[in-house]
Structures are given as structure tokens and as C-alpha cells.
Structure 1
């Protein structure tokens, strides 16, 4: 009889099997609250040299019920390695997006005591799994990160991988002792959510003797030739849902088993996609029964078998009440494979019986064998089809089958019968096959397109000023200025430490000359003079003083005629922790008789308990249009003899045995600060400091103020170019000093609405050749989380911690608040056409602001899209809570890019250009 009649008769099927599914009401899971964040200390590329087992297990054991331990990347350090772990009852494990938990390849760690794990022998199963969940309720594994079993890596101390051992055991007909990735035993309501499992040595997940397991949105990824690497195997369990998942592996994608410990029932496989593997299987162990199974909306692309029920006389039982609905199969050798003789040589009295099997809207698009083979006449299978189809030229093996066809039953006996199948229509499986979601590591080095890079020309970046929401178009081309063109500059004042000062045009200190220029500029403005600028010539020498330039009526140019900027230096020592009284003692005299505008700058600092970062500036510029040429600005604090142990506060830091602990701290020490001044220009200047060397500060939030550095040099170690203004560095050198293990060139805190932050074009990023620089682990920057008191982007290791949106920034443990203005300090830096030295990490040049788990953490944000996404993940609604219209209007055009590069050269340690 032709199946053409029966394939369209779904409405009159007499076996609805409505209870064939998980009896629970299963919804998309959510992430549990985090009890502890552990950050990675290793990178896979450099080799996994240590085990994280103890600290992970200790954190899991200490985690309260209902919460989870989170494994997080710390910039480029993204890998954990562990031996066997046990997840306690009620506790979760979260693997962050960029983190990977690797299973150790040391077989001894998994051995059950017989020293046979990692040895092929007559007896198998002598290895503990990598992760065990046993006698637990409500435990789970979550996150967008990876658990990697390293099945394809050499087993420690051996010449084979786990997978090679398994293949050898197959050839030698013995057992391989290889660890499974995850085993769930005798547990209830276990959840796997979004996690990616790959390269398991053996089965990825087994669920045995358990009630309630949900796998939602997970990805399982292991090569097609890796033996016995089943995806998920429910065994003697009930109430299982596997949904919205993607599985490709070397054995059964899913294998539902009814082993010796009881039946498996009430299983739902929903809205998922299978690729390489042996298919959607039931069996081969069915001796205790498998029943009430629903497989709905599944695509199978390239599985050896498609929908498969397999068993034999040595392990057979009853498989019943199984529904397959809305299934699409292609490139399968056996798209439908119901076989009771899985092992042709098997003997025994456990005869498999398959009954009440329904195929509804099942389509096999490419030729493949259709197998419906029951054991014998006394154990026939009963199968119904509706609205289903198979490709032409599909061979068939149908034997001992009761086929439900419309209003009649068709029985196929011992003589196999071929049936005529409908050919699938072109629309049967349209848009049903999805590409496997390959795990692509996040791009921590985004590149601009040529079109995007055009927006970062000098003309575009410097064309406007003022509030970002209402910019003032004011084109500025600093390269056309006499400061750059080489024209002879006028002289209004001369500073010479060795000449006789007259207090009018001749001065011994720079500050005195600036003071006079401020006074004279005010008179020129009152007299409506046409003189557009005042020029101060500084003779060579080192001027040990502070230099404060207030807002001026007429802009000032400070310059030296010596082309070597090192010959003319303004230098002093001040740091953020300097007491106000010490500041007065060191510098008060130079501000005793100055213009009130300068004295006001001094007065704003002198009464502070400590002067702070901004107060440490040696040169402080507030005057619009200020220029400097051939000058060195240096903060000498900690420059003459840098203490390499300064990065380890609250430890003994070099103390000898028996002495009290020594605390050494490196403070911020600014050499040059430009505050609120627009059109500030620096030609062939040197800015020397160590931590926070160059501070570029706007006068108001989201207010564009422009600075331009040409043929200049800036050096430092930590956050040494920082602030929220728009600054263009052109044909200059930026040098990282490497005495610390970590260094950041920039720390921008540009407002999200400000189009441009720091732009570096044709800049040479160099280093001092120190061991830490040569290690290649420094960063181009991290985005300054300015004035925050708590982080909404992650939890910290404190019970009941919360950080919520509010009008103020505050924190009183364990609860804090963060304001919109702080959230909007996103930080922007773009580097173009530049040469980047080997000191900068090649794959991860942009760092997070502090590490996850700390109160000050914020992840690197490369675009306005990241900003928007991070807000949502933090529970902050950009439109409702922050009043944004939409993402595109928040930061249009170039403003949408926060961090980016274009056409840069990155040097390898040997000096060669990185490909």
C-alpha cells in the first residue's frame, strides 16, 4: 500500500499520547544570585600550569543554597583548570561568557582507587567524572562560557589523547577507562542554562535516577569522530526537558535510556538542532522501559541516524508513547531508524518492544534508509504517521510492524515491504535548519572600517566645541598655526633664571611671567587691542616650580627656541596624597603676590587635607588657546628612584624577617592638567610622570574642549593619559614605563554623548625595555569608571550586595547606588595609523576597569551597543530609567564607537610586524 494516503491524515489518528512530555511547567531559567566571583589567573595559549580545584571547590562548598559561584575572566586571563568537582545541593556554577573551565588531563585525579583510570582494560568505568551533582536539589550550571573536557589533548604522562584511547579500546575489544564530563545522580530539579560543553573525553552529560532536569539553550560541541561522546543521556529518570539547544558530537546527540535502575519517562526535547552525531536516540538500554517521550520542532543535519530507537535482546524492554512532531532531517544515512536488533549478535530474553510511536509532520529531505524492524511476529511495533514525507530513492526495511494508516491498520509481517513515500515539498522545512552557533571569542580588538576611520581626521575631530547636545561649529586646524609652521614667534616676555628680572618683561620664574601676561592681557582687552596673543620665551634651564595658567583675556604661548625640549623644563614634585599643609610649605611663596585668578587656583587646594589627583598637577592650564612649544613638563615624584614594590600595599613588601609590615604606595602625580580650556595646543613638548601623567579635563559633563599634541612625547605607567576631553595626538610618542606588572596608557572617561575622546594618529607607542614590558601584557587603556561608588555590572563577594540606579552615588555595605552621570562616563579612545610596541597585549589591548568581583568593576565597552546591552543586563532600562529615545539617537555616527583601531602595526617580541 502507498503511504501517500496515510501521510495527510493527522486529524483521525487514534493515538494522541497527550501525556508524552515533561509533567512540569518548564520556563526559561534565570541566573541565580552570585555568592562568590572567582577570577581567572591563566590563559590557555600560555599553557595551563596550575589547578584551580581547591579554590573552586571551597567556594562551591561555602556558597549558600540558592546562589552560585561565578568563574570570570580577568582581561586576557580567561582560563581555569581543575580536577574533579562536586556541586553541592542547591548551589550553582556560572561560567562567564569569556571564561573557560578546563578539565585536567591528569588521569590520576579521576581515578576511583584502582589506578586504572586512563588505562584500557577488561573492566571499565573506573574514572570519576569531571563534575558530579549527586543527591542534590536545585543545583545547576549556567552561563555563556565554556566547560572543556580536553578530550583531544594528550593525557598527562601518556602519548595518547582520551579519544585515541577510546578508539584503541574499540580495536582491541576491551574497555576504555575515561572520565565523563558531567554526571547527575539521584537528584531533583537540576538546571543547565546557556552553558557550552565541548571536547568531553566520554559522555558529556548523564542524568540518572533523577526527577527534574532542564537543559535550556546549551551547546554541546565535540568532533564527529570522538568515540562515545554522547551529548545528553537521561537514564532511569523522569521529567526531563531539553530545549533551544544545539548538539554536535561523536555519538548519540541525545540517548534516552531505561537501564537497570528504572524506567525513563516524561521527557520533552523541544526547539533544538542536532548536527554530527548518531541522532535523537532512545536506547540502547531499554530494559526498564522508556515511555511518554515528546520530540518537537527538531532539526537534524548530518546525523548518521535521525530519529532512532535502538535495542536488542540483551537489554531490551518496552518503549512506548513516543511522539515526534515537526521534525526536519537531512544528510542522514538512516533518517528513521527503529531497530530491535541493534547488536546483531546479542542474545537474551529481554526482547525490545516498540509501541504507540507517532510521527507527525516528520520530513526527511535527502535519501536515507527507513528502518522499522521489530524483533519478531510476537513483538511487533506499532507506528503511526501523519503529514510526513521522505526523499525519493530512500531504501526501506520494514518488518513486523503495525502501521496506522487513516481508518485502517496495515500489518507488515516477516516479509519486508517497501512503501511509497510522499516527496517533501520545498516549503516543508524552509528556514528550519540553523548554523551551529560556533563559540567565537569576543573581539577585544575591534577594527574600524575605512569609512569609519575617515571620521577621525584632524578636521572632523576638532571641528566643534561646547555642549554635546548643542555643539558649536568652530573649525580648527592647529597644523596651520605659526607654532607648527616654523614661523618666527614674537617675544613679549622672557624667562631666564640667570638673568636680572625687571618684573615687566624679564622674569626668573615661569609663573611670574604668566602672572604678568594675565594682567597685561586684561588691559589689552579693555583697550580693545588687536593683539591676539602674548608670547613668553623661556630660556633653557630647569625651573623648579608650579605653573598655573588661569582663564585669560588674551591667550598665551609659552615656548623655547631650543628644539630639544629636554633643555627647557618645568619640574616639581607633588602627589595626590600630599597634605595641604605640605603643599603650602612647598609652594605657598610662589603664589603670595599673583593675580587673584591664579591665587584662586592655589587657594582651592591649600586647605584640603590632601591635595588629590587634580591638585598634584605641576602645570595647570585653564586658559583657552594656551600654547606650548619645546617645553618639558615633569612631575618628579617617584621618578628619580621608582620603587618596584609599590604595587603591593598592605603586605610586607620587602620587609625582612621579624620586622613590622611595610606598606608602600604609588600615588597619582600629574605633570600637566588641562582643565576646561579649549583650543589648547602643544608642539614638541615632553610630559613626564609616572602615574596619571597627563590629565585632560572638561569644565562640564558632555562638554567638548579640544587639545592638540603634535610631535610630542608623553610617558608614564598607570592611566597616564586620562580625562574626558577631546584630545588629538599626532605624530607623537607615547612611552610606557614598565616597572609594574600592569600598565595602562589611557584612562578616558568621556561622556557617552561626546563624539570624540582621545584620538591617536601616526603615534609610536613604545616602552622602556623592562622585563614586564617585554612580557607583552600591558594595555592601551581602560575606561575610567569615574566617581562610582558601586558597580551594577557584577556582584561582589559580599552577602546581599546590591547597586541600583539613583540620583546620588553612594555605598554603605552591602547596598549602594549609582547615578546616570556616572554610568555615562564611558571613555573613548581610537588609535589609527600607529605603531604599537610589543609591550601591549596583542589580543587584549583594552582592559576592564578593575577585576570582576571588585566594587569598582566595569567591563570594557567598545561601542554604544555594549553600553546599552550592559545596562540591560544590569537591570537598568535605558529608555524607561534613563530617558533615552533609542540606541541610535544616544550616540550617532562616530560617537557610537568607544574603543577602536585602524591600520595599526603591532610589533612582535622579535621586532617583526605582527600579521
Structure 2
């Protein structure tokens, strides 16, 4: 690298100028808007794919999806999006030209590809010139047109493929070959642009992948407000006229966090007859092959107020480029290049007023106030600085410019104002190398072009792992975490009998008289009597030696039983069996935020005459200031070997999904801190809690709730508690299946409700050393068709960060924040401690042979626990290696602070196998 300070006399002359320039130049983005990361809009309708990628490649007829896509767009109201989703193995669409309705967006799922037709007739403007060469060009409509739109865009992590390299239907050449032929014939090619946005406001391109465009990928014409965030553009270097993003006569433009490699300009800022292009921010991007970061060639409308910052360019023919000529020139001014790294470029700096070799006209280019600050060129190349003439001098300012040895300078009618550490003298001559070169800050900035799907967080089980998740295996071990031993249990070998297949010991009926002995009007009354009888039977058995019953059966006849039901530990297992889940329902309305006094007022009467074990359960709730999550179940079970069949269990609290006032104990909600914001949420309300129950069995049950519907707890010492759900239905919206127990869900529907923008099916808190957590096999993950569900942003799981008060995994915006290992979980701002046991509640969940609807995120169905920067944050952990890596990167060292001697044995926390995605048939559960 050449890196020489200017001679002292030059440094003295220009140092004052540089200081003034720094003070008067904007240090933030030139885009005048306050730009934030886009958010996917609500969805108006789903359109399911009917083709595979292989079928697209073989397609030789009309594009089958044009009409239904255009109809969906036309029917969608402004402010919402048409969402393209996969349907099983079908993940492709094939369409001709599409016109977006104003205000309507397109959302394409990860793993879904929208292909442009190869038939020129599908894009022709009416003159039958599309797919031909002529003297005019522009005979094709764009693939996607967005005109006079507002607050809309192209969203999703799917792909739009222009098929530019594929043969046109009925032709012997591709779109790209046509463009090359036009070049040889000195004519214009008629080919479709990929996306064209015209006379629109506040448009976004978010996370979308664009590839193989026949012509320009994304053009903006007379647009005010455009954000490209996380966009990937990928077209071969030989594809002619395939610019990446071209803002033309537009303003307030931000392009960020994007990756672009193409056959022409990676970005080209242009200004035509419709006016200037101004207030442009191009920040934190990576360019590869292409023609570089360009301004021009059309500049006659004026280009001004442009910031290019944090950019890497690797392999482009030109690096930073301003190009124009007298046929299209104009004033280009106030352009700032900062923190730019360039390598493997033929012309790393290319500022030229003579772009067109045969250009004629009187539109003279003028380049003024062009600033290059912390620009590094790592490999040699040509450096071009050509102003038009002595009356139109190119003016540039440099600071900390570093150039590679061997570079060649071509300069005329250009004036340089050089700052410290510039590699050019003011007369544009390279200086000899200094004794101490400046640090190469670019070494870590270059990134390989991302591979589509490589960052997908959907770990798949190996074929060798799959047999370990058969239900006989998962339910065949029990014991303390890490010490489980074989304990065979096969619930399918001994199925729960249905009504009519057994002789009930107790009957609950709303329609028949109660006798207080074997017939009752409430479920709890039957349980109370059963407990009394059990106590008497135990005395009789002791006196006579006669064996008691092996199982007690309670039959519920059709009806809605408005009550709480508590079943304490019993010496004999209990079966609670209904007369069909649609006809038999236990229901109550309570939530974690009600006070113990309110609980006693509403439900205390039913427990007044209950046996001591039941009263103990009720009293443990009533004595609390707030009953909390664990006090909110409609059915609370402690009895080993419990069975339930053909019953609906419902906590009817807040089924509307509306947020409720916060309720807090002590100082939990004081002030406006993190915990105050955490508590301004919906309240937990359980339908079912199994409390340390091993071999709990559920068949054909319906469990209804919203937040925290089902809680499955291990035994008090962490010993295995196994739960088996078969042919059942469970619904909710946030963490609605949670706990540290082992649970197997077979042939069960799991339905996500959508009153909130985020939903999590499960929140396991499985111990690090426990053999199994939650396993879902042959299940259906469905949704309610709500707008949030249709947006496809829901998750399968977030691993419950149980008992945490602070996070060691990331910084929290608290001055002097600390979170260290300790004997308790506590946080008193700004510091706190967290226990090893809490860190080891990792959460395990496996999903196999199941159907997963489009409401679940396709790229990453496993969520972090809350957002980075909050006290409850923890990143999703796929396996024991993740667990160890996260600790090593945290503020707590596993060897020094936690007493580990070595990393834990290899183990899978989250994983999938043989699941079918995008299966979106209607839920079978009746409401």
C-alpha cells in the first residue's frame, strides 16, 4: 500500500480547509427521512404455489399464474400485501407482467420463487417488438410495475427470478443473448426490466432476492422515499445492461445492508428530464462483479446530496464511478464517499466527463464537491479524473485516501484538495511509499456473497437420530436429569376407554339428579367424594387386606361445567372421561393477574367443603397477592398416571386477545424500566397444568386458551414427568405449551391464534441434561386465518429462560450494567446475578413427520427469548455446542464461573425431520 503524508507545505495549506469541510459536511445519511428497518405489511390473502422449480424449467407454454396473481393484487386493499406461499413440495410461480395496485405490496416467502415468463408476448406493449431488436427499445413492459403507489413494496425472503439466461419460448436465444446481439448490431434490445417503480412515495424493498433479470433489476423513476434493506441481487457478470438498483430523478433514497453482483452498474444514480436525484444514502453494502458504485451516465437533471459509506467493492470493473458526457451531462455535487474498501477492480476510481465515445451535444458535465474520506484501494488499477475543460474543472477533496502500489493515474482538468495521509499530491501524482503504512482497516470488511438459504436456522435430524424420537423411546426413560434409566411405557398399548367402554365409579351430569355419592353436578364435587372414598378404602384395605381398585373412572356427561378442577396426588390413578369433546366442556375465566382475594371471592365457595388436599391447593393460591401463572389453571392435576379423554378444557380469559392493564407485585412495574415494559402485556391463563405427573395420558381432548394454555411440570426434584397427547387439539398464541416435563404429541393439531403480531407455540424449559423435552410427531400446525397469522411471522418455539432476572448474553442499555454468575437470580439496577441452574434450562423441542402451515416463519422457526438489549434476552440454542459457544461469548465463563470441567456431551435441543411446509388446509377444530 502507498500511504504518504503530503509535504508539510501542502498539509499547512489544506488543513484548515479540511477542518471546515468536516464541520460543515453532514455526518449522517443524506436521505432527509428518519429511516427505520421496514416491517412486513399485513396480509390480505395467501396465494399458494402449484408448481415445482423442476416444472418451471420444463415449462414451454403460457405462464399459468399471471391471471390469479393479478386478480389477487386487484382484490387486495391498499396497505396490505398479497403473500406467495409454498404448498407442500410446490414452491414456484410462473407469471407474465404484473401491475401492482397502488398501496398494495407483494410478500414472497422464504423458499418460494416467482419466475418471470420466457414468452416475450407476456410482456409486449402492443407493437409485437418485445424480444426483438430495433432502433428504439423499451418495447416490453416490466415484470413487476408499481406506479403511483404509496406505502407499499416488495417484501419477504423469497426470490424473484427474471430467467434472463434461459431461452425465450420459440426463440434460439436468451434475453441476455439478444442484448449482446443488439450491441453488435448497434441497435436496442427490447427486453423486460424486472421491477419498475414510477411516481411513487415511501416504497420498500425488504430482504428480497432478485436474480437473472433480463434487463435492469430495480429502477426508480420520480420516486420520493425508497428504502432497500437487506436486498440481494445476483446476476452473472456477462449479462448486459442488468443494473442492480437505479434511482432516476428521485429523492430520499436509502439502500442499506444489501449484496449486489450483476452484469452492469451495481448501483447507478441517474437524473433525467424529470428532475434531480438528491438526498441519497448508500450505507453498509457489499458489491461484487459489476460496473461499480456509479453516478450517471444521465446527469442532466442534476445529482446532489449523496452519501456512500461503509461499502466494499470486490471484483467490479469500476469501483467508485461518476460518468457522463456532453449528450447527457449536468451538475453532480455534494457527493461523499466514506469508509470504502475496493479490491480487484480494473478502474477503482473512475470520474470521467467523456463517457460516450461518440457523444454529441451541449450538456456539459460538472463534478464539484466530491469528497473521498477513508477510501482504500487494495489492488492496483487505473485512477481516472477527467474534467471536461478548463472552464468546467472537476473538484475533489480527499482525506485518508490509500492506494495500491502500481496504480496508474489519468487526470485532466481536475483539482484536488488533499488532506493528511492522501496518496495523491494536488497535481494527481502518486507519492512514494512511507516508512510506516497506515493500518489496513479493510481486511475484515469483505464478505463472500451469501448463499441463499445458508443462514437458514432449521437444523434437520440425521437418519441415525430419528429412531431416538419414536414415542416408545421418548416415553421409555425416566429419572433425574442425566440419570434417566429405561422405564418402558406404551400408552398406545393400553388406550383410554371411551364412554360406554367402562363402568364409571362416579358420574357428573347437569341433567340428572345428584346423590352426593356416585352422581354429581360438578366435577370437583365428584373428585372430593372420590378422595373421601379413597381414604375410607385405604382404612378398609389395611383392616381386611383386600386389594383396592387399580384405577378410578369419572364419567362426564354432555354439558358445560363452569368451575375449577383440582386433583391432588392420589394412591390410585384417575381417569376423567367425557361424552365427546364437542359436547363436554370444563370452563373457567381467571388469569395470573387477579389477586388472591379476588380468586377467593370468585372460586372459594366451591372449595369450602373440599378434602384437606384440595383445600391445600386452593389455599396456596388464595394467600398470594397475585395468583400468578401457576395459580391460573382450570384443571390442576397432581395425580400420577392421570388420564383424560373426550373433554374440552377451556380458560376463557381474554379470548378477544385485547391487552389488559398490567398487574405487578412489589416494585416489579415501578418506573419506566425494562420490567415495567415487560409487564405491560397480556396475562397468562392456563387451561391445564400437570404438576409432577408421570405417565399422564390425553386422548381426543381439546385444550383452549390464549397465553400459556398448557403447563407441563417435572417433579419437584427434576425427575421425569411424562405426558402423552394423542389425537387432540391445542390452541393459543404465546408460549401456549410450556414447561420442563417430557411430552409427546402424536397426531395432534396445534393451532396458533393471531391477536398479536408475534406468536410462539412452545416454550420448553428442559434441563440441559434431561434426555427429552417436547416431541411433536405427525402433528398439524395450523392457524386461525388472522391478519398476523397470514403475515407468516409466527414461531414454533422460544426456549423459556426460566427464572432469569438479567442476561449475560448481550449488553443492556443500563449504565454500568453487569450480570454475573451467582447463587440467586436477582437484578437491582445496574447489576444482577444468575444461577447455573437457570442457564441450564435450555429448552428442547423436536418436530417430525408433521405439517407446518405458512404462519410459521419459513427461514427460522426458532425464536430468541425476547429481543437483544433487554434483560430477558437469550439467543436460540440449537444444540449443546450452541450452549457452550454462547457461554464462552457471554460475561460468564463456564469453566471459571460455573465449575464446568468440560463441555456437555453432544445433544440436540431443536430439530426437525421430514416435515411438510406450507400445508395450509383449514383447521378441523370446531369453535
Q: Does 1:5 align with 2:6?
A: yes
TM-fit CA distance, 1:86: 2.3
Contact in 2 for aligned 1:448/1:900 (Cα 8 Å): no
Residue 911 of structure 2 corresponds to residue 900 of structure 1 = yes
Distance 1:367 1:459, change over 3 A: same
Q: CA deviation at 1:600?
A: 7.5
Q: How does 1:193-232 map to 2 (within 5 A)?
A: 193-232=206-245
Give secondary structure in 1 for the equivalent of 2:579. Answer: helix
Report the number of matched residues: 663
Whole-Å Cα distance in 2 between the matches of residues 406 and 512 of structure 1? 95
Residue-by-residue CA offset, 1:825-882 (whole Å, 9 max, x unaligned) = x994467xxxxxxxxxxxxx5431x444xxxxx558987xx1447x76xxxx9988xx
The answer as to whether partners of 1:322 and 1:357 remain within 8 angstroms in 2 is yes
How far apart are residue 223 of structure 1 and its match? 1.7
1:789 CA drift (Å) = 7.1
1:121–1:393 Cα change, 3 Å: same
Match of residue 370, structure 2, among 343, 350, 357: 357
Question: Contact between 2:41 and 2:791, CA under 8 Å: does it hold in 1?
Answer: no
Report the counterpart of residue 404 of structure 2 in structure 1: 391
Q: Say yes or no: does 1:81 pair with 2:94.
A: yes
1:348 is the counterpart of 2:385 = no
Offset of 1:380 from its aligned partner? 2.8
Deviation digits for residues 669-705 of structure 1 (CA, Å, limit 9, x no counterpart): xxxxxx99988799xxxxxxxx97999xxx9831467
Alignment of 1:415-564 (within 5 A): 418-420=429-431, 425-440=438-453, 442=456, 446-447=460-461, 462-464=476-478, 475-478=484-487, 550=552
Shift in Å, 1:337 = 0.7
Contact 1:289 1:319 in 2 (8 A): yes
Q: Does the C-alpha gap of structure 1 residues 12 and 42 become closer, same or farther in structure 2, counting only changes over 3 Å?
A: same
Q: C-alpha displacement at 1:152, in angstroms?
A: 2.4
* Corresponding residue for residue 152 of structure 2: 139
The answer as to whether partners of 2:505 and 2:552 remain within 8 angstroms in 1 is no
Partner of 2:350: helix, strand, or coil?
strand
1:718–1:198 Cα change, 3 Å: farther
- State the match for 1:250 in structure 2: 263
Secondary structure (helix, strand or coil) at the match of 2:70 reads helix
Moved more, 52-61 or 121-130: 52-61
- The structural deviation recorded for 1:117 is 0.7
Q: Does 1:39 align with 2:47?
A: yes
How far apart are residue 10 of structure 1 and its match? Answer: 6.1
- Cα deviation, 1:142-186, whole Å, max 9, x if unaligned, reads 333322222223323333322222223223332211100111222
1:328: how far off? 1.3
Structure 2 Cα separation of the partners of residues 66 and 694 of structure 1: 36
Change (3 A) 1:510 1:418: closer
Do the aligned residues in 1 keep the contact of 2:851 with 2:915 (CA within 8 Å)?
Answer: no
User: 1:300–1:758: structure 2 CA closer, same or farther, 3 Å change rule?
Assistant: same
Q: Deviations over 1:378-403 (max 9, x none)?
A: 43322222211100011121122222
Secondary structure, in 3 states, of the residue corresponding to 1:167?
helix
Q: Answer yes or no: is 1:794 the counterpart of 2:768.
A: no
The residue that corresponds to 1:555 in the other structure is none
5+ long unaligned stretches in structure 1:
466-470, 485-508, 536-547, 553-577, 582-596, 614-621, 628-634, 636-674, 683-690, 737-747, 762-778, 798-823, 832-844, 853-857, 907-915
Listed as ranges, the matches of 1:838-877 within 5 Å are 846-848=850-852, 850-852=853-855, 858=856, 866-868=862-864
Matches of 2:26 and 2:66 in 1, distance apart? 43
Partner of 1:339: 352
Deviation at residue 291 of structure 1 after TM alignment: 2.7
Alignment check: 8 A CA contact 1:151 1:161 kept: yes
Q: Is the 8 A contact 2:241 2:263 kept in 1?
A: yes
2:213 is the alignment partner of 1:164: no
SS of aligned partner of 2:439: coil
Corresponding residue number in structure 1 for 2:247: 234
**Secondary structure of 1:54's partner?**
helix
User: 2: CA distance between counterparts of 1:258 and 1:46?
Assistant: 41
Q: Per-residue deviation at 1:417?
A: 6.5
Report the CA distance between 1:218 and its aligned residue: 2.0
When normalised by structure 2's length, the TM-score is 0.58
Q: What is the TM-score with the length of structure 1 in the denominator?
A: 0.59
Contact residue 476 and residue 487 of structure 2 kept, 8 A:
no
Residues 296 and 679 (structure 1 numbering): CA distance in 2 closer, same or farther, change over 3 Å? closer
Q: What SS class does the counterpart of residue 170 from structure 1 fall into?
A: helix
Distance verdict in 2 for CA 1:154–1:404, change over 3 Å? same
Query: Quick check: 340-349 or 217-226, which moved more?
Result: 340-349
The corresponding residue for 1:123 is 136
Q: Do the aligned residues in 2 keep the contact of 1:3 with 1:419 (CA within 8 Å)?
A: no
Q: Tell me the alpha carbon deviations over residues 399-451 of structure 1, each in whole angstroms, 9 at most, x when there is no partner.
A: 222222469x99999xx964326676333324322333332164656136989
Secondary structure in structure 2 of the residue aligned to 1:141: strand
- Retained in 2: the 8 A contact 1:400–1:412? no
User: RMSD between aligned alpha carbons?
Assistant: 5.9
In the TM superposition, what are the counterparts of 1:168-207 in structure 2 within 5 Å? 168-207=181-220
